Structure 1
Amino acid sequence: MKGKLPEPTVCPQCRAVFHKGRWQWIEVPASANPHTCPACQRIHDAYPAGYITLKGDFFKAHHNEILQLVQNFEKTKKSQHPLQRIIAMEEQEGELLITTTDIHLARGLGEAVHNACQGNLELQYNQDENLLRVYWSR
């Protein structure tokens, strides 16, 4: 989107409100203009900003605990920053691929798992596409 949104603006999908220059979880003003927020737009377009891959024997053995850590981390971040959301979590052959609407959430999730479980963490930024790939294994 080019240009600044009029204030207040509300996302019809998630009900986040653009107010004072940022998206927030506040009560929707009666005069709010409807416009899809960037997170809902990324989800609709299936266009993630972050990809996190979790794998390894330790991951398989502690799958439920790590999954709970990921879900709790996202819940906390999303409550503070409406544009930081998990798009999807997909399991394949003992690996978990998580896609996110925001590179900061992707990095934070990778670091949270690494801090809690140690292992190997690799971050690959693609600045041209505003994209982050996070790989964690143990």
Structure 2
Amino acid sequence: MKPQTRPFKAGSQEKLFPERGHDAYKLQHKLREPTVCPTCGAVYQEGRWQWGPRPSDADEVVCPACHRIADREPAGFVFIEGEFATQHRDELVHLLRHHEEHARAEHAMERIIAIKGESGKTIVTTTGVHLARDLGSALKAAFQGMLELKYSKDENLLRAYWRR
């Protein structure tokens, strides 16, 4: 028997993750354009933060990613465990940094905050839930293992658990 699948509907806007709770770091209103983050140099124009040259007439506002980093309030956690992960930590970190570099080039607000080793596991914190999910998926695609994603019901937070 063939498994049941939903047909694709043109124009459907399925979310990559459920929008839950209040995100204190999300902009509450549009900023005047152009605006520059004095910390990282990202430029807010065309309705989003992006990388580009600093306009001379730009306002200054700390971007949401730098705000999260300064407050030490990650939106994503990736927990990496297992004997394989311990033995190949440098290789895993290289893969994580590579994926962050590509994500950050396209999406200025998606960054790794820290990568820390703690009690035989590695904990990666990120400024966005999408990057945390993508890092977990990249680990699973490259090294197999088990990946579990847990979204918080009350806040904009993702915990990804990868083990091998």
TM-score grouping bracket, smaller chain normalisation: over 0.9
Q: Which has the higher strand share?
A: 1
Aligned residue in 2 for 1:23: 49
TM-score by length of 1: 0.97
Aligned residue in 2 for 1:86: 112
Question: Which amino acid letter does the alignment assign opposite residue 9 of structure 1?
Answer: T
Q: Percent identity?
A: 48
Offset at 1:61?
1.6
2: distance between equivalents of 1:89 and 1:65?
13
What stretches of structure 1 move > 6 A for 4+ residues in a row?
A: none
Where do 5+ consecutive residues of structure 1 fail to align? none
2: distance between equivalents of 1:2 and 1:137?
37
- Per the alignment, in what secondary structure is the counterpart of residue 134 of structure 1? strand
- Matching of residues 64-75 of structure 1 within 5 Å: 64-75=90-101
Aligned residue in 1 for 2:28: 2
2: distance between equivalents of 1:21 and 1:127?
27
Answer yes or no: is 1:43 the counterpart of 2:66: no
1: distance between equivalents of 2:87 and 2:122?
13
2: distance between equivalents of 1:2 and 1:68?
35
Q: Which has the higher helix share?
A: 1
Offset at 1:60?
1.2
Offset at 1:102?
0.2
2: distance between equivalents of 1:127 and 1:69?
29
2: distance between equivalents of 1:8 and 1:128?
33
Q: CA RMSD in A?
A: 0.8
Where do 5+ consecutive residues of structure 2 fail to align? 1-26
TM-score by length of 2: 0.82
Cα deviation 1:103-135 (Å, max 9, x = unaligned): 000000000001000001000001420100000
1: distance between equivalents of 2:115 and 2:132?
12
Answer yes or no: is 1:124 the counterpart of 2:124: no
